[in-house]
Structure 1
Amino acid sequence: MIDSTMNKPENSKITSEAPRSFLQLKLSIPNQQSVRIASGFAKSILILLLLFTLSCRTHRPIQSRLVPLDTPILKSKADRAMASMIHVQDYMDDIAISKEEQALLGDFYKTNNNRPVWLVDKRNAQELLEAIELAWSDGLTPDNYGFDVIKENLQKLDSPTYADTIMPAFYAQLDLRLTNAWMRYASDLQNGVIDPAKFSPGWKNIKQPMHLPELLTEALKKHQIRETLDALRPQNHQYNQMRYKLAELIEVQKNGGWPLPGFFETLEAVDSSTHIVAVRKLLQATGDLQSKDADSLSPVFDEKLEGSVVAFQKRHGLKPDGIIGKRTQDEMNKSVGYRIGQLIVNLERMRWLPHLHDKEYLVVNIPEFVLRTYKNNKPKDQMNVVVGNVKNHTPILLNTIKYIVFNPTWNVPPSIVRNEMVAKMKSDSGYLEKNQ
């Protein structure tokens, strides 16, 4: 499980709209040991989700099902909306949906007598549109929920140019798009976009059960479209921290990013170098060094700069020695776009896990070798732990702790004896004595 150690800014709110380009990332799904972000950010993080299987069905022409517009019942826009009978199969060629989504939509409209549910009173539709527009704040892409098409079509309903000529089929298709958008967004917020089991066998199928048709029906009835969606995302401390940090970094990106110091010889306290100035500017931009605490033009590696380097190292899982060596320089030269990509991946991974609302729990951040305990969704204690490596990785474990064994007896597993120890014993007769 990935744990963010970034601090949430006080009184922060996610309100700004993120340019779509910030979320157009090409990501390599990480394994359990580390998070790796692909270098090219030209494609969407959600590109894997576009590979839906479209159902190819033969259906009767839409126009043959329409009531003529001059029929008295269709004089108002509300009447035309209600005249739009919705049969999901009839629109499969127009809306890209998976077989699973098709089944959910069919169940939903069957319980609503195949009638529109969004367009007689458009308040719910407008609220959904506003919620989808902020999908970027969870590392999701508004376009994956048909944002532009829905926005354009809702505008047509209010346009004198189109409003009086729109056919019932238009209402039916738009209503279907709205329902599918809400269900897809709800599912992504609660269980994630990607099935982790497809990329890593260590992940079990831990999707939380959702009853989307019933949930949406209740949300529409109570006019709580956005509130219901907000309640579906993880409510824990780590997830909220990462959302706030994502919003912060997107603002940094919009303003030109932060300066990268480049690579140089190892530097430590009391050293003097022209590279120190670049390091100061970076750490001020990342919030690790307060502007009031240091002269940004000073080339001297002073005590306050050393403290900010330690803070930077802790946030990135490095040895907090205050020395700017190769590994620290590698992390210092990661762009804002790279960090945004890391947050997007970690937000997705957090959605894969069971939602821990008000329980006490502990989290092992495998790449950091750290265990943290939480109470009421706030960090309480932490300690270092031993985990595996890439070759012998630590599996993802999700379970309830029922008891703790102190000073347990540990025997070497046969696989370790066979794969790691036998060769060493053959080459060194004193191996076992040396490693008691």
Structure 2
Amino acid sequence: MNVIGKILPIDGYHVVMDEQPFIDFNASLTHFYQPLIGVQAISLYYTLFYEVDYAQKAQTHHTLMTYLNLTLDNIYRARIKLEAIGLLKTYKRREDNRDYYTYSVQRPYSPNQFFGEPMLSQLLLHHIGEQKYNELYARYVKDSIAYGEEVTADFNEVFDTITPSSSAVLNMENEKENRETDLMDFSWIEQSLRQRFIPAEKVLHSVNKKLIYQMKVLYDAESIEIEKALLWALDEDNQLNQEEFKSACHDMFISRNNGQAIRLNEKMAAVDTQVSMKQPATKEEQLIHELENISPKQLLEDLSDGNHASEQDIKVVREVMTKQGLPAPVMNVLIHYVLLQSNMKLSKAYMETIAGHWSRVGLKTAKDAMNFAKQEQEKYKSSKSKPRKSNNYNYNNNYKKEVVPDWFNNRKKTPSKNTTDSNISEQEQQEIEAKLQKYLNES
């Protein structure tokens, strides 16, 4: 399964838990779940469990990498195992160009509940062997003691409730039946039973339907195999013996797979299989395929003719990769690009500048990063090839002239009204002063 780039170090997460587990849930995780999903998944479960409502602010997945000392790819694999086994539910949202995850931790089954689940108990049996399985069963599942006849009062004997209408009861029954039949189509089993004059409703009740579905999924059984195992496990009263049915399904699986034991394996996605089957045709496709599947450390060593990558170069790559949250394929393209542009020198400052740009753009794959780098390079070449204007300006002739209105140039030719009025007033003032002086002299 291709898990590269599924989550990034800068992606945030928050942990919640709706139901508190029982007191001794560690025994179930250690003895029942761990043999099925492995120690890394259990470690992730414990880490998330003790971070329930720990921080008000969302943390980044870089925190999980630090706690678990695991890569993001291994953390993602551990997470989907927890989801598949029923120990975790994951919700995703996107805000401010970042992904945020809410991890809802689910409480594990108690020992009694675990052994009561046919699919999980059968898987555990095949993983740890019959002897260890029986030891765990004897340790955690206590045999019921005969206390006598039960005389516990029933709810309806003590309390009076409102009786629902007949239509509501019918809808509830139909809804329950639909939930059961959604898991699997039982029409072919029902038809086979009726052909043998076996009452189908007696065999195909809800408990048996769930068991039949789980065994079909667990052993990847064909319809004819399920039918044979079912008929084999019916007793003379047409009652299904569940243990015989499980044994019959297991025997058919062993026979079909030449004695190979059943194991939990990660399912390969169909898309990944098709991609792996398609061989790269051109040299560019070969390079992209290599950059998608190689680690940055291996890339540095390959570009150094097989020599070990220097500790300083690895440190630079690690800091840039974790700080900017670039996926490994995009980081590989960045390393390749910087080395080609810097004469095979790994400049940290230059790398950080480009990494910040690529992180804001949101590149996810090596192909996207390579195409984006080509586009930026073409823009740089086209801008460099454009003719530039000369900077040797003639400041005496080429300066920007200001526009001067005509009235400013002609202001001395045409006297304004205010100027004329001012001159007349001054002349009158002089005449008045002369007359006054004459008057004083005569007096």
State the TM-score, normalizing by the size of structure 2.
0.22
Higher RCO (CA 8 Å, separation ≥ 6 residues):
1
Greater helix proportion: 2
| Structure number with larger C-alpha Rg | 2
State the TM-score, normalizing by the size of structure 1.
0.22
